[in-house]
Every structure is written in structure tokens, then in C-alpha cells.
Amino acid sequence: MTKTTHTITPDAGRRSFLRSLGALAGSAAILSTAPWLASCTADKQAAVAGQKARIGLIGTGSRGQYHLHNLKNIPHADLVALCDINPAHLDEAKAIYPDAKTYTDHRALLDDPDVDGVIIASPLGSHAAITLDALDAGKHVFCEKAMALTLDECKEVYDRYLNCDNVLYYCMQRMFDEKYVRGVQLINDGLIGDVVGMRCHWFRNADWRRDCPDPSLERLINWRLYRETSGGLMTELASHQLEVCGWVTGKMPSKILGTGDLIHWKNDAREVYDTVNVIYKYDDGRTISYESLISNKFNGMEDQILGSRGTMNLATGLYYLEDDDTRSGIKQLLSSVRDNVFSAIPAAGPSWRPETADAYVPHSILDGVTHVNHGQSTVGVDHDGSEEILSAFCQACITGERAANVVEEAYSATTLCLLGNLAMETGTTIDFPDQYKIPYMKF
């Protein structure tokens, strides 16, 4: 496959993403693809100019501090409070925002009348409980993915959300990443034909372990490695990619089967798998093939949507067409001679192409610079939609406007992750349980 280098250049201004988001949200075609952007139009951004949402952060570890730095670029946000049970992390966050009040109990922060909304960046095992407490306290909530650690917790949070007036966001940042939004629009417009399947993978080579200065803090710092606090690769990585598949199809798979194991990183008492392979099957026969491991990074991260007339790789911002006359006949011929892919020279015109993957021509989803996340960072990267979705949340803390479908997309993706884990653990094919279906889901 032809390799394309994507240039990453500094923004002309760190707040330029707000203008770009407003312009993107102003397109009727885009809103039909990503209805959650309706709350982010340029007019609605202008309406909150000069106002600030007072934000509290619960969980000040690496991902929490990532959000702290992004908040500095959002003019309608004011970080006023920090909370963590780990004193070292709390001190690091306090150094970034020295004027913020500090708490060691999230319930005390939620009692603070000067806090309008909270960002929850604590370990997954605590997401549901803190979200419920925050909604009950009347706070707007922005929570890291995944939604919860269990299916019952997911349903409890969703039901509570339906019965309150608060804003609730989950950090499914691909929903606010322009290359994904425009790519899904192109798919909906028929560019790659009928969607016949999806292949997603995420590969890293790292043990996922963090330094722990005190053994008593092991399960707090390395929470991703233990089942009481983590859903492993599925909730930490697959949640993003499965959300994209549901976004593209507008449907949910009804059957889940898979296998997972500890293959390489198995000598340190960790409990979650380091290798997973899961198949999600739709009622119409289509499948999502999902694979992830953390002992080889060669293949990186890709979100491939396979169509009858082409392939969209949303992660790289590129698409490839099955019948593509971009290349001249002579270039195709020379490429074929080089690869020795035919025994007789065909008498075909410019539209002929050999049956080899490297002959596909890459086309960019976006004009200009495309920012690509290669999936190796365990904290976060710039230009992946995280700043945009956080900005939208802070705006919603001022206006009280809920974004369409954000909670439902997070719920759908999280339940698929948890059912994937269940299929691997039981070695059985799982039918999507009726008790966890919500009206938003189409099967």
C-alpha cells in the first residue's frame, strides 16, 4: 500500500480550533452526519463570549493533567477546583493551576457552589459512582471513557441521565475530530459504496505499567491492569473504535464472540488481557473485526470502513477507491512489472489496475494538513478532537444545552466493549442482552 506522509505544523493560534469547529458545525450536511455538533455553531460560540464555565477536575493523573492543559486554550473555561486521593498527582495539578481549590474527597468538591461542571478523569472503576454523585449534586459532567465498568452501571447512569436536566458528555473525541466527521459524511454520501464490513486494530508495544514509588499505591496507580478497576484493552482502546463503527452503520451488532489472553506481559500479576480478538456480527451479516495487543506496534492504529467501491481509513484520514483512474496507464504498467504481478502484458486502458494492495491510490479526506494519531501515546495527543469536545462541554455548562446522541453513543460503545470482554471470558457467543438495549439502538 502506498505510504503517505502527513505534515504536522503548529497552529497559527491555539484557539483556532474553536473557529474551525464553528465553521464545521454550520454545515447542514455535517449536522446530518454529526448532529451533536449543532450546539457548536459559530453563532452559539459567539453567544457565550465573555462568559466562563467554572470547572472542577476529579482525578488529576496523566489524563486529568492533559485536560488541564487543554482548558488553558478554552476562553470560556475557568478551572476552579481540583480533587484527587493521590497527594502527588494533586500537587502536580496544583502547580498548573495554583489558584484552584483542592479537595481529597470528590463529594466535598461537588458540594462547592462555585463549581458549575466537573471533569471526571479517575480510574474506570469509579466513573459510574462519581458521575451519579455529580448528577445528583446538580453538576454538569464530562467523564472520560468508558462509561462504566459493568453493564448494570451503564444502565443506571443512562437512566439517571434521562431523569435529570444536567449536561453529560463522555470523551469520545473521534466524534469531534474533523477527519472522522468529514469521512463519515463521505461514506454517507456513497463515496465508497455500500459498507460491507469494518476492520479496526490498535497495536502498541509497552507493558502499560507505570512507576509506583510506594507498593501500597500499586492498584491505584496501575489501575488499568486489574479487573476491579479496568476493562483492559476493550474499554481503554476499543471503546473509541467501536463507537465509530456504530456511527457509520447507525446500527448495533447483535452477536459477539472473541478470544483474549495474557501472552507477553504475564509475569507481573496483572489480570487484564494483553491480546484481544473480537468479532461483532450484525443481523444483516456484516461484521466488525477488532484486534488489539500491546507487545507489537508494527501495525499501529487504523479504523477501516470497507465499502463495495472503496475503503475509508478514518484514523489516517485517507480513502482508497476500488476503480481509480488517478494513475496513468504507464505508471500502472511499470508498477506491475516491478511487482511481477502478471505474466502477459494486458491491452487495457488507463482504468486498468493490478489486483495488489500497493496499487491503491491514497486520497485525503481533508484539504491541507491532516493530523494523524498513530496510537502510541497512553495519555493523549493534540488535534484528535479532545480539545473540541471539552470546549463543547464547557460551553454547555454555560448554556445548559445537551448535545444530541453523545451519551447514547458512549453507552452503545461501552456495552459492546463489556460484552466483548464477557465473550472472551466465557468462550461463548454472546447475544446482546435485551435488558441493556435502549431506544437509540437499532439492530
Tell me: do 37 and 92 sit in the same domain. yes
Residue 258 lies in a domain: yes
How many of the other CB atoms lie within 10 Å of CB of 376?
14
Task: Name the 3-class secondary structure at 305.
Answer: strand
Strand (E) or helix (H) holding 69: helix 62-71
Residue 224: CB partners within 8 Å, gap ≥ 6?
Answer: 123, 208, 230, 232, 236, 272
Is 371 found in the same domain as 242? Answer: yes
Q: How far apart are CA 179 and CA 163, in angstroms?
A: 34
Q: How far apart are CA 405 and CA 325, in angstroms?
A: 39
Tell me the pLDDT of the chain (443 aa) as tens digits. Answer: 333 333 333 344 445 667 778 888 888 889 999 999 999 999 999 999 999 999 999 999 999 999 999 999 999 999 999 999 999 999 999 999 999 999 999 999 999 999 999 999 999 999 999 999 999 999 999 999 999 999 999 999 999 999 999 999 999 999 999 999 999 999 999 999 999 999 999 999 999 999 998 999 999 999 999 999 999 999 999 999 999 999 999 999 999 999 999 999 998 899 999 999 999 999 999 999 999 999 999 999 999 999 999 999 999 999 999 998 775 444 454 454 444 433 333 333 333 334 456 689 999 999 988 888 887 876 777 789 999 999 999 999 999 999 999 999 999 999 999 999 999 999 999 999 999 999 999 99
Question: Domain total for the chain?
Answer: 2
Same domain (yes/no): 268, 166: no
182: domain CATH number is: 3.30.360.10
Same domain, 153 and 212: no
CA distances from residue 15 to 19, 22, 314, 391 in whole angstroms, order as listed: 8, 12, 24, 10
- In angstroms, the CA 410 to CA 421 distance is 17
Q: Assign 407 to helix, strand or coil.
A: helix
253, 392: one domain: no
- Give yes or no: residues 224 and 285 share one domain: yes
Tell whether 267 and 389 lie within a shared domain: no
Residue 426 lies in domain: 177-379+408-436
Q: Are 169 and 143 in contact (CB under 8 A)?
A: yes
Residue 308 lies in a domain: yes
| CATH at 98 | 3.40.50.720
Is residue 78 a part of any domain in this protein? yes
Looking at the structure, tell me whether residues 120 and 265 fall in a common domain.
no
- Tell me if residue 236 falls in helix, strand or coil: helix
